[in-house]
Structure 1
Amino acid sequence: MTIPSLQDGIDKAGSAIKLLWKPDAEPWTPEVVAREYVGWRQEQAAWHEGVALLNLSHHMYDMWIEGPDATQVLADHGANNFEKFAIGQAKQYVPVTRDGHIVTDGILAREGENKYLLSGIPAAQHWVQYHAEKGGYDVGFVTDPSSAFRQGGGDPKLFRYQIQGPLAAELVGRAFGGPLPETKFFHSTAITLDGRPLRALRHGMAGQVGFEFIGPWEHAAYVHEQFLRVGEPLGLIEIGALAYTSASVESGWIPSPVPGIYTDPDLPEYRKHLPLFGIEGKRPLNGSYFREDIEDYYVSPYELGYGKMISFNHDFLGRDALLKAKDGPLRTKVTLVLDADDVRTVVGQGEAPGFVLTYARHRVETAAGLVGMTMQTASVDPVGTVLAQTLIDSEHAAPGTEVTVVWGEHPGPGTDPEADLGFPRIRATVQPSPFSEHARTLYRRGR
């Protein structure tokens, strides 16, 4: 039986939008992890006020890239600076299409002179492997899908546990018998826990101090239990799937932007290479912001805040397009702070609204009309309301600007994108992204 491709799905549906538009789509939450352990409000408070443990082991797609041409293929298809990429360092990998649209980002860790680990949702991994094989690069690949898609089940190859929050350093010191070696942001150091090897990646979420510990799965249970044991006196709280998803809204990271691959006339072979039932064919679009053209959902890495990561010191696919876009009219990434009273009224959950989470693209408007779209929206209890990571026209991006969010689900093709469907409006105020001042300034230094 032939496995249908992404291009097959587009052709059958009639367009990429008709394939992807799914009103009222259920938002993604991490696999395997419980939705809540002690309640999402307490779990969010943990990384603000105490210490939190997050399990990232099951929802990350890992791909090891190794061989003489490993650096070359990544540099040829990524906008990052590869001249300054130390072994043990990690970067937000930024692959773009010929037209400068992001494919999606991923976390790229350099494990050796000719060995890298690319982690995240698999769109960037698909892109790199396809171009490596098509271009005849001398490089090999080993993949470990996320637990939801690992054929035959089984365990991941790696565990990933994050320890985050103001008490993270104290917990780590207790677990390892003292502070870890001084490590720059997004750099890692090799350590052991009772003789078990792992790496400590200096990382943070929502602006808080922390580490991500990565090691062979055979040691996962032991490391987890040790963290729970030494963390108990500090009030360590495990983070469930709901609270976990909200961290990116605070930290300013926009997960899973629409890959700019659906209409590029140079990419029909690539679309035929991708399976329909992969991330590119099944990550839905929904919300009140509807457009017939999928290109209206494409984004530039500049709009996502990745401008500082782009280096023009080498040739790469999309370089010319990014050079042109650098000084062009682009949207700005901001945080919208939704009016708490309007949220209670519109979402309709009483005095203490339940957890709000959506990746819907909702319309953002002013008196002048449409000015932007939301990218991810979630409740953040320490702030007391709902926040939305948003791309907005730059002239409306100043902190304090008042806008409205149109809250509803456009039915999609067959209905005018500009039709007044009677959706309620939620007042909102523009604030910077990342929302946390610490995340915007201090904890990224040295990256």
Structure 2
Amino acid sequence: MTVPSLQDGIDQAGSTVGLLWQPGAEPWTPEVVDREYVGWRTEQRAWHDGVALLNLSHHMFDMWIEGPHATRVLAEYGANNFEKFAIGQAKQYVPVTRHGHIVTDGILSREAENSYLLSGVPASQHWVQYHAEKAGYDVEFRTDESSAFRRGGGDPKLFRYQIQGPLALELIGKVLGGPVPETKFFHSTPVTLDGRAFKALRHGMAGQAGYEFIGPWEHAAYVHEAFVKAGEPLGLVQVGALAYATPSVESGWVPSPVPGIYTDPELAEYRAWLPLFGIEGKRPLNGSYFSENIEDYYVSPYELGYGKMIHFGHDFHGRDALVAAKADESLRKKVTLVFDPDDVRRVLGEGADPGFVLSYARHRVETSAGLAGVTMQTASIDPVGTVLSLTLIDPAHAAPGTEVSVVWGEHPGPGTDPEADLGFPRIRATVQPSPYDRHARTEYRRNA
């Protein structure tokens, strides 16, 4: 039986928006992790005030890229600097289309001279593999799908545990018998625990100190238990799926932007190569912001705050478009919207407590002049005391303190005017910087 392609799905639906638009779609949360261990509020506070353990083992898609042309293909289809990329270092990989729209990002780590590991949602992996195979590069690919999609079931090849928060370094020292050797941000160093070897990636979330420990799955249970046991006196909190999905709102990372691949005629062969039942065909769109044109959902890496990662010292796919985008003052700015707590309770709450809010919907952001921006991710942040929304907004309205309103509702999609007044409630909000967390915006980002 022939596996349907992304292009098949678009053709059958009549348009890309027709394929992807799903009002009321459930927000993504990590697989094979309890929704809550001790309550999402306590779990959120743990990485702000104490120490938290997050399990990333099951929802990451991994691709190993190895061979004489590994660096070449990654550099030709990514905007990053590969002249300064040390073994043991990781980077946020930034692949773009020829028109300068992001495909999606991923975490790329250099394992050896001609060996890399690209992790995250698989859109960037698909992009690299397709172009490498089409051009006949001397490179091999090995993949490990996320646990929800792993064909044949089974365990992941790698465990990934993040230890985060003000007490993270104390806990790590207790488990490993001493501090991790001084490690630069987003670099890794080898560590051992009772003869079990793995690596520690200097990393953080929402601006907090910590490491991500990555190693063979055969050591997963032992390492996990060691951290849990040693963390008990420090009040270690395991973070469930609900709270896990929220720190990106504070740290300013936009998860899974819409890949800019759906309309370029030169990518027709790529869309026919991609499976329909993958991230590009099944990540839903919804919210009060609706357009029949999928290109209205495309984003530039500059809008996402990735400008410092772009390196023009080499030729790469989409370079000319990014040169033009760098000077484009009309591009939207990434900001944080702080929702008015009274409006949150009025629109989203039941009684005095609005409960947990998580949405990846694209909601309209308006001023008295009309449409001003669109939300990218919205979540309850209990330490802040309200809901925050990571948002792309027109430069004229990006100054901190600007008052806007968020249109909260679900547009029905094709067949209804995008500008129709559907009676959706408005939530007042105030523009603030992104990242919202001060440490993430200053010291953390400077280290990056």
Fold conserved (TM > 0.5)?
Answer: yes
Aligned to 2:424: 423
Structure 1 residue identity aligned to 2:394: D
User: Which residue is 2:253 aligned to?
Assistant: 253
Are the counterparts in 1 of residues 77 and 95 from structure 2 also a CA contact under 8 Å?
yes
1:279 aligns with 2:279: yes
1:18 Cα offset (Å): 0.3
Aligned partner of 2:412 in structure 1 is 411
> Which amino acid in the other structure matches residue 62 of structure 1?
D
Structure 1 Cα separation of the partners of residues 111 and 445 of structure 2: 21
SS of the equivalent of 1:249 reads: helix
The SS at the match of 2:266 is coil
Q: Which moved more, 1:347-356 or 1:287-296?
A: 347-356
Query: Is 1:228 paired with 2:228?
Result: yes
- In the alignment, which residue of structure 1 is the partner of 2:356? 355
Q: Give the match for residue 323 of structure 1.
A: 323
Match in the other structure for 1:345? 346
Partner of 1:191: 191
| Residue of structure 1 equivalent to 2:164 | 164
Query: 1:205-251 CA distances to partner (integer Å, 9 max, x unpaired)?
Result: 00100000000000000000000011000000000000000011111
Structure 1 residue 445, shift from structure 2 partner: 3.2
Task: Please report how far the alpha carbon of residue 74 of structure 1 lies from its aligned counterpart in structure 2 after TM superposition.
Answer: 0.1
In 2: Cα distance, 1:446 partner to 1:336 partner:
25
Are residue 67 (structure 1) and residue 67 (structure 2) matched?
yes
Residue in 2 that maps onto 1:179? 179
Give the stretch that moved more between structures: 35-44 or 340-349.
340-349
Give the counterpart letter for 1:141 in structure 2: F
Q: Distance in 2 between matches of 1:350 and 1:103?
A: 41
Q: Deviations over 1:2-24 (max 9, x none)?
A: 11100000001110000000000
Q: Structure 1: how far apart are the matches of 2:351 and 2:436?
A: 26
Residue 444 of structure 1 aligns with which residue? 445
Tell me the alpha carbon deviations over residues 312-336 of structure 1, each in whole angstroms, 9 at most, x when there is no partner.
Answer: 0000000000001111120000000
**For 1:150-175, what per-residue CA distance to the aligned partner results, in whole angstroms no more than 9, with x for missing partners?**
01110000000000000001001101
Map of 1:346-385 to 2, 5 A cutoff?
A: 346-385=347-386
* Structure 1, 50-59 or 170-179: larger mean CA deviation: 170-179
Count of residue pairs the alignment pairs up: 447
Show the counterpart of 1:43: 43
**For 1:441, what is the secondary structure of its paired residue?**
helix
- The answer to whether the 8 Å contact 1:185/1:445 transfers is no
After superposition, the C-alpha distances for 1:287-306 in whole angstroms (9 at most, x for unaligned) are 00000100000000000000
CA RMSD in angstroms, aligned pairs only: 0.6
Cα distance in 1 for partners of 2:350, 2:147 equals 33
Whether 1:84 and 2:74 are equivalent positions in the alignment is no
Deviations 1:16-57 (A, max 9, x none): 000000000000000000000000000000000000000000
**Conservation of the 8 A alpha-carbon contact between 1:186 and 1:203:** yes
The equivalent of 2:124 in structure 1 is 124
Is the 2:349–2:355 Cα contact (8 Å) retained in structure 1? Answer: no
Distance apart, 1:444 and its partner CA: 3.1
Is 2:219 the partner of 1:209? no
Q: Percent identity?
A: 80
Higher mean alpha-carbon deviation, 340-349 vs 93-102, is at 340-349
Moved >6 Å (runs of 4+): none
- The one-letter amino acid of 1:250's match is E
TM-score, structure 2 normalization: 0.99
TM-score, with normalisation over the residues of structure 1? Answer: 0.99
* Contact map agreement 1:74 1:128 (CA 8 A) in 2: yes
Hey, what does 1:293 align to over in structure 2? 293
Contact 2:55 2:162 in 1 (8 A): yes
Aligned partner of residue 119 in structure 1, secondary structure: strand
2:200 aligned partner, one-letter code: A
Letter in 2 for 1:139: V
Q: Note the alpha carbon deviations across 1:261-280, whole angstroms, 9 max, x for none.
A: 00011100000000001000
Q: Distance in 1 between matches of 2:5 and 2:146?
A: 20
Tell me how far 1:348 sits from its aligned partner: 2.9
State the distance in 2 between where 1:76 and 1:242 align: 37
C-alpha displacement of 1:111: 0.5
**Aligned equivalents of 1:131, 1:71: Cα separation in 2:** 13
Counterpart of 2:30 in structure 1: which amino acid?
A: P
Paired residues of 1:185 and 1:444 also in contact (CA < 8 A): no
Segment of structure 1 superposing worse, 171-180 or 347-356: 347-356
| Residue of structure 2 equivalent to 1:140 | 140
Question: How far, CA to CA, are the matches of 2:197 and 2:264 in structure 1?
Answer: 44
Q: Which runs of 5+ in 1 are unaligned?
A: none
Secondary structure of 1:373's aligned partner: strand
1:352 shift after superposition: 1.7
SS at 2:246 equivalent? helix
1:21 paired residue number: 21
Is the partner of 1:445 in helix, strand or coil? helix
User: Aligned equivalents of 2:308 and 2:428: distance in 1?
Assistant: 32
Deviates more, 1:371-380 or 1:344-353: 344-353
Match of 1:435 in 2: 436
Unaligned segments of structure 2, at least 5 residues? none
Q: Contact 2:185/2:203 (CA < 8 Å) preserved in 1?
A: yes
**Contact 1:23–1:412 (8 Å) recurs in 2:** yes
Supply the distance in 2 between the matched residues of 1:15 and 1:142 (Cα, whole angstroms). 33
